[in-house]
Structures are given as structure tokens and as C-alpha cells.
Amino acid sequence: MSVRYRPFQALALAALAALVTACAVFAPLYDRAMQQALTDITVERADPDSVALQVSTGSDSLFSNAKPENLVALVSPAMRDSYLDPVLGYRATAEVLPGQPNDPLGDLVWRDGECDHVAFVRGDCPAAPGDIAVSTADADNFGLRVGRRLTIRPASGDVGSRLRVTGIYEGAQGDDYWLGLALTGRSGLADPGLLSQVQHDVWLTDRSTFEGSRVPVMPEQAATVGLPLDATALGVDDLMSLASGIEELAAAGTAPTAPFTVEVHSGLPDIAADVRDQTDQSRVTVPLLMAQLGLLALVVLWLTLLAVTEQRRPEVALARLRGRGRRGARSLLAGELLPVALGGVLPGVTIALVGTALARTVALPGHAPFESGLRLLVAVGIAVAALVLLTVLAITRVAREPVETLLRRVPPRRGSWMLGTGDALVVAGAGSLVVVFATGGLDGPVALAAPGLIAVVVGLVLAHLTTPLAAVTGRGMLRRGKVRAAVSLLDAARSPATRRVVAIVTLASALAVFSADAFVIGQRNRAAASEQQAGARLVADVEAGHLAAVRDALAEVDPDGRDATPVVRIRPPGVGSVETVAVVPDDFRRIALFPGGAPPAGTWRLLDVPDVDPLEITGTQLALTVAGSSLAATRADGQPGPLSLGVDLVTAAGETLHTTLGSLDRPVDRERLVVPTYCRDGCFVSAIWLHTLPGASITGSATLRDLRGDAPASIGPADQWTPVDDDAQGRMAPGSTKPRQLSVAVQTDGASEIRMPQVWLPVRAPALLTGGLPPAASGRQFDLSALDGTVQRAEEVQALDRVPGTGPRAALVNLDLVERGVALATSARIEIWFAEDDPGLLAKVTSALEERGASISTTSTLTETRRTFDDSAAAWSIQLAAVVGAAAVLLALLVLLVGAASSWRSRTRDLAALRMSGVPRRDIGSMAVASQLPAVVVGVIAGTATGVYGAHLALPTVPLFAGEPAVSTLDLSTAWPAVALAVVASTAVLGGGSALIGRVLARRAAVRRLREGDL
């Protein structure tokens, strides 16, 4: 009956209880669903052969006669439930005798049902001992026709086993039945082992080959069984128990007491370890968020219960006056409040279940099953215990008050400026934890509650300051004649709800701001990390060696370089080596994804190529006149040595032709040197060189002129050549002001060759460097890997924080510069980076490449990379922040509603009294709104500040990624737009709610309320 009397209050209290229950139940269910989703996608994305369980007899059990069925028996029935039907099999090595390098060697396999998984082009499935089926490649390479007989090496003895080809098959690609066994692809290739014997593909045979007596035991013969995983039914518990079962099986299989040794292969233990690691991460974030929401929910519930029980003081007084004692008073309140509080449990559980179902189907990937069970029961039990405990505590607090206190209309309060003992203890305890945490003395789970604790301290202190301040201000305004504002402030100061509202709104806003901040920071960091890892929205790998084709194709498809750009990368072996990343700076700057923004244009100008023309010749022969040559080579023993003059020519394909023009063993007055070349399509003269014996020295000078291929070319003036002056090579100085001639003066001491490059070729490539200079650097100069795999001298022109798509150490150089005069090494990777993930453009580029004999091998997209970051327990955990923020604001709104529902009679009477005094209705409305709105505003402002500070303290402890990215893009700076959104949302919901409540109260403030007396 009492519920009917205060229906809104009962509804609000039940809603609060529902929210508390929903929080308590949702957290573990969501955590569990995350684990299931993680298991699902990890298993789903793994190859079927890596998650399958493959068991075989060990190499030292060759003659154990163990059958595949014996292996199946080793797998416990509980484990078997998680796998599909086992595929029995045998395996051995079949080496055709006499075993010469051209006699093929490879696997001989029987698998139950094998012939259903290959296509026979000739002959039939092997059915008798010694019958085999070979691949079409083997049939071609080794002339294995149907009916052909072979002798293979036995495991022991000299008498070979006889096999007969009964069928020729074509292997099916991507058939999961074979669990990773590649049937074909090895035929005719040399065994990489010591003997370099030629290999055959897998030969299929009948079971009887391994079990009958007709064929002796073969080398490495083993029984096998493959158990494909039944991934559809695999849950996280199954995964963990399977992983430990597999480890036990492996351990038991190698135990000395085992009748035969067993080898176990499965990737599941590694997957389980990964899932376990990620689950451990979620154990940081989920409690971080839920503990604070739980804290808020409990504080809100407690304060609400205080308000609700306080309102019932007259009823408690009556119970005591009618002789029912404290116990009777407790039962009176418990009889009313406990059913209401517990009435929220079922809706709360329903909300949590619906929320989890939504999370499973919308927010989380995979097919996490619906789970309730013990986890749900425990969570509900905890929620019920918390509800009952808090309700009973609040009831007891009122029921034990003396009757004389209960009979007073307003409970006695302490002085306005003083903190109560309980509040003081909470402020002191939480405050000292916050101080310890802020000074770096605390981490781990306790640290996770920092934002909540700060908000509790700030909220309580502020709450205690607000009412006396409001009273002082209100009185001041009253003296100045501002009656309306003064009455509102004095009303706020008088109302016990004001403190409650300030404290709760502070805590709720702090949590909303913290959650929004954490949510967006998590997203931003995942986005940044995936951009850094992906490099561009779409990256296509081109088969090596086709840079010219790539550039040509891109020039055709995207002449402006706005949508696609080539990137060539080469990385010398070794940990911590600097990767060379050659790019077209202007295009790369536009297309590559730089988390936090690309470096400014000025930085890219540093990579500009010098504005010089190459020296180009075309034709099938090259001619050069040497005049006035005093060049001579002198051997170490003082005798004249051989001396040859040559040039380096770079073909259109990027190949360098080291071309000798002629011998200059003697001084020459004038000699025309003519040599054939392969420059029909044009070559660049990249260097002039002189060559002699090692240890010899070259001295002298000469004039070179009239260089020509099909047409004359300008070998001069001197400024298109880079003088050489170093200790290793010696000195070679160009001279001349005329375009058609060049004089060179040379002095070397022991170097066999001195090479003077043309200025168009880079001597020292400017590089934007990330990860710092290598240890061997001299000043800012260092060596990096040239695109041809040799050494390229480089100079750091500016340091970058990171280079997209690369590791921690990379040098960004200008592709137009470093590609000059080099042929790409096979280890160099050519990629095309696209500005957008545009399949149409990709198709165009692919087709343009194919026209030029190149092809794309693989592609990767930002979306895929982002998915790997998003599909992790770390990401899912932080998604909870959205729920937590919304729930926090909702909780605070409930506090406002409960407050209104508990005090509406007295507040409407007060407002009615004001109407009686002649205050206009409109003014009453604004006064009703203004009496609580300032408390909400103060709470939101304080909550925002504490939420931002709390995030600053707590977020460094939150795992944002499943595994730390190789290149950190971590940015934990405050996400101000998210904070602003949270503030706007909190203000709209709480401020709007408060204003609405004020309006409703004002509307109900009819004068007849004054006549209602005590009812």
C-alpha cells in the first residue's frame, strides 16, 4: 500500500536498484562474452591445420606396430568432443632406389578417405599393398605412368620394397582435409638437405601398404591421426582445457613409460596463451570502469536510501510510539523498502542480459554463446547482498534514533561548515589515496579507482561548502533586495538535497567525462597505431624487380601522383638495422597516414633532388676522344701497371653497365675510343672511372671530349661531375668550362679504381631519419642500404618521430634520387601506397602493371589493420566506457528524481506559501528551477575537472592494445571534444532534468497544498 502512496519514489528506487544490479551483472557477463569473442575470432582467423590436433608416433617408435587407432585412444573423450571425426593415417619416406641424386625422395601417405579429396586424371585410387597414386607433376617429371613399378628403400635391410603406380592425381588446393599437408609443389625440386636429392610430391597409398607384411617398414614410418577442430562449438573454457589437455598429451607421449613415443602438433596452446594474455588485460580495464560505476551506484543508492528513510521518520516515530520498538520500526521500513529494492533485481538482470546480448551481437565479433550459469548467479547474489545490506543499514540508522528525535520535523544537523565524522573519514581516506597515487606511489588495481576517489573527495568537500556559501550569498542578495534569487539560494541552502545533488553530480559527471575521455583516447590510439602500422589506406606489394614498370604504370593511371605512390623499401639484415624507405616526397606526404599529421612542407623540401640534368646517350655504340693524356699507373714495385678508362652506364631498366672504353697504359696524344653498348633505349652516364691493379697508383691528367652515342653528348663542363677527394680512392678533379670537353686530373695511391660520379647521381642522399643515427654515423652522416643492396651514403637532414608503415628505425629518402643508377636488389620490396581503399583504382593499377609484365602479390588495407587492433580484449574493455558514462549520468538523474519524489510535498507547500504571499506564478517557476540548478551546474563543473584529472592519472595504467605496437604512437592527451560532449550531455540530462523537476513542482504548488496539513 505504501508503494501506491509514493509510486514515483518507489519507481525511482526500483530503477536505481535495477541499475545497480544491471552493473553488477553486466560486468562479468560482458567480460565473459569478450573472452568468448576473442576465442572465436582467434580460432576463426587461425588456419584449420594450426588449430587441429595432429598426433603421430615418434621417430623412435618405428617398429612399435602402433596403429592410428592407438593414437586416437590417447586423446581423452572430453577432448574428442571438441574435435570433428579423426582422420587416421600413416606416413613414411619413400626414396626410389638406388638413391642417386636424380632418384626422387618424398612422403608416402595414407589417409582415411584420401581419394575423395584428390581428382584422378588417370588410373584409380590405390587399393592394395604397394599401390600408389602420384601427382601429375611427378608423372611428367619422373615418367611415372600407371602400371610403372618402383623399388623404394626400406627402413632396414637391403631388400627394397616394391610399389606400383595405380593412379595419377591432381592435388586440390586449400582442402582443409589435408590439415596443412601440401600434396604437390615439390616435384623436381632439390631437397635443401645435405644430399641435394630431387624430391617427389606426396605419394598416396593404401592402408595395407603400412600394415601388411608385403611391404617392409619404411624409413620414418609413423602412424598419424589428425583431429580437425570443431570451431563452431569451441568456448573459452574448452580452449583452455584443450590447451592443457594437449600439453599433457605431449608430455605423456614422451614419458619413458609410454609404450611408444608420440609427437603432438597443435597451435591451440599458443592461441590459448594469447587469449589468456588479453583476458588478463581486460582484468585491468573492466574493473577500472566498473569499479567506479559500482562506487557511484553504491553511493547513489546509499544517499537515496538515506533520503527515503529520512522521509519516513514520522512513520518510524509512530511505530515506536505504538510500542513496536526499534525492531518493529525496522520491520516497518524493511517491509516497505526491501521489496521495492529487490523488485529492481529482476529488471536489472534483464537489462544486463539484454545489454550482453546486444554486446554479443553488435559490439563484439564472433559468435559468443549466451551464458548465464554460476557467473550470473554470483553476480546477482552480490547485487542482492549489496542492496539488502545498504537498505538494512539505512533503515537501522533511522530506526535506532530516539523517539524524541524522530518526532522532530527536521532531523538535528550539525553546523553547516563542518564535515560529519563519516564524511570526514571518507574524504581523509580517499584523499590520502589520491595524494599517494598522484605522487606516483601507487599503482595496480587500487590506482584504477583514482578518478572515482578524486571525485568523491571533491564532491563531498564541495557539497559541504555549497550550502553555507549558498546561505551566505542568499542572505546577501536578500539584503540587496534581490528577492527571487535570494529565496532560491536560501531554499537550496536549507534543503538537505543540495549537498546530495552536488556530491552525486560531481561524481557522475567525473565518471562521464573520464569514460568519454578514455573511450576516445582508446579509439584515437588504436586509429593512430593502425595508421602507423598500415602506412596507407591501401598498400599493394608488387613482385620484386619491376620498379620501372610500377612507375610507368602509375604515371599512366595516376599522372599527378595524388591517389597512388610507389614506395621502395630495403632493410639490411640484423636487429635494429635502419630500413631504407624510398618515396616520392610530395606524393608520399599526401598519401601516407601520419598519426597526428604529416611533417610540414618545409621538411619534405629537404629531400628535394638537385636540379641538374643527367648525361644521356642513346645508341648501340659509344665513342669518346682522349687527348693529351699523361695518365699512368705505377705498380708498387715501380713498374708501369695496366690502366683502363671506362664509364658506368645506367640502362632504362635501372641496370648499371660497367663499360670499359679502352686502355691508357701509355701517354696518349689523341685517341678515339669506340665500344659497343646496350643503350638502344637510352642510358645515363653515371660515372667515369679509371682502373688499375690493386696496390698500384694512378697519376696524370687527360682531356676527354666528343662523347657521343648516336648523337653527340656534352661531357663538360666540369660542374656536372662530383670531384673525388677521399683517402680510400684518392683524388680525381674535373676541369673545363666547355660542354664538349672535360679534363681530369688524377692522383691515387693504392686503390685499384677511382670513380668520379656525375652530379645527377646522389653522393650523399638526404634522409629523414627516425630512431636516431646508427652507431657508426659520423656527425649527421651515415651509411644506409642502397636499393641495389650496396651501401648508400646519407645525411640526416631532419629527425622524424616515426615513418608510417615502418619499424622504429627507418630512413626516408627521395626515390627519384636513390633509384638513379641502381638496379633493385631482390630483397628490395616495391609497394604501391594508395590514398584511398579504392578497389577500382587498384584494378586499374593491377591491369596497368600486368600490361608491363608486373603483378601485385598481396594487398593490405587500413581497415584490416584497424580490425586487428579493434578485435582485442583491450579495445572491447574500453568500449565499456560508453556504457559506464551513460549509466553514471542516468544514476545522477535518478538521484534528482528520487530527491524530488521524496520532498515534493514539502517543496510544493513552500512554493504554495510563496504564492500566498503574492509571488507571481512565473516567478515561482523560475525560483523552483533556480533552487537546484546551481547545485547541478557546480557538480558538473567540478566533475569535469576531476574527470579530466582522473583520466590523466589512471589512463597510463590502462592497456590500450593487445600487444605493444613496434612503433609507439601513444598519445594520452585529453580528448577535449569528447570531454565537451560529455559535459554537454551531463548538463543537458541533469540540468534539463533538474529544470523539469523544478517546473513540475512549481505547477503543483497550488494554494490548496497549504490546507493539506500533515498529510
- What is the binding site for another protein (CB under 8 A)? 1-2, 4-6, 314-315, 318-325, 328, 403-404, 407, 1012-1015
Whose Cβ is closer to another protein: residue 4's or residue 149's?
A: 4
Residue 409 C-alpha from the chain's centroid: 61
Residue with cell 695518365: 631
Comparing CB distances to another protein, the nearer of 323 and 775 is: 323
Which of these, 703, 692, 698, 696, lies nearest to 669 by C-alpha position?
703
Q: Which residues contact 884 (CB under 8 A, 6 or more apart)?
A: 289, 290, 292, 293, 511, 515
Helix axes 313-321, 373-399, angle to 10 degrees: 70
Q: Report the DSSP pairing between strands 105-111 and 262-265.
A: unpaired
48 CB neighbour count, 10 Å cutoff: 17
Nearest to 899 by CA among 922, 926, 931: 931
Shortest CA distance to 930 belongs to which of 623, 541, 470, 604? 470
The DSSP output letter for 918 is: T
Contact by Cβ (8 Å): 667, 630? yes
Indicate the DSSP class of residue 855. -
Using the minimum distance from each CB to another protein, give the nearer residue, 283 or 475.
Answer: 475
Strand blocks (E) in 154-238: 161-171, 203-205, 222-227
Closest contact distance (angstroms) between CB of 285 and another protein is 46
For residue 411, say if its preceding peptide bond is cis, omega within 30 degrees of 0.
no
- Closest to another protein by CB, 313 vs 569, is 313
The distance of closest approach from Cβ of residue 305 to another protein in the complex, given in angstroms and rounded to an integer, is 18
Burial track 740-770 (b if 16+ CB lie within 10 A, e otherwise): bbbbbbbebeebbbbbbbbbbbbeebbbbbb
Residue 315 vs 783, nearer CB to another protein: 315
Enter the C-alpha cell of residue 614: 643527367
Task: Assess contact for 716 and 625: CB atoms under 8 A.
Answer: no
Q: What is the 3-state secondary structure (H, E, C) of 883-909?
A: HHHHHHHHHHHHHHHHHHHHHHHHHHH
* Distance of alpha carbon 582 from alpha carbon 792, whole angstroms: 12
Classify residue 146 as exposed, middle or buried by CB count within 10 Å of its CB (0-12, 13-18, 19+). Answer: middle
Helix (H, G, I), strand (E, B) or coil at 678: strand
Name the β-bridge partners of 225. Answer: 55, 88
Q: Which of 615, 623, 621 is nearest to 680 (CA)?
A: 621
Structural element, H or E, at residue 675: strand 668-691
Q: Which of 118, 112, 106, 93 is nearest to 226 (CA)?
A: 112
CB of 338 to another protein, least distance (A): 16
Q: How far apart are CA 650 and CA 658, in angstroms?
A: 9
**923 touches 483 (CB < 8 A):** no
Distance CA 409, CA 667 (A): 124
Between 149 and 414, CB nearer to another protein:
414
Q: Rounded to whole angstroms, how far apart are CA atoms 273 and 286?
A: 20
CB neighbours of 20 closer than 8 A, spacing ≥ 6? Answer: 294, 297, 298, 301, 344, 348, 383, 386, 387
Omega before 614 cis (within 30°)?
Answer: no
Q: How far is the CB of 375 from another protein (least distance, A)?
A: 39
**Selection from 780, 725, 786, 740 nearest residue 761 by Cα:** 786
State the nearest-atom distance from the C-beta of 1010 to another protein, in Å.
Answer: 12
Please, which residue, 232 or 405, has the CB nearer to another protein? Answer: 405
For 10, residues 6+ apart whose C-beta sits below 8 A from its C-beta are 2, 3, 340
CB nearer another protein, residue 3 or residue 718: 3
Residues 6+ apart with CB under 8 A from 416: 467, 468, 471, 493
Shortest Å, Cβ 314 to another protein: 6
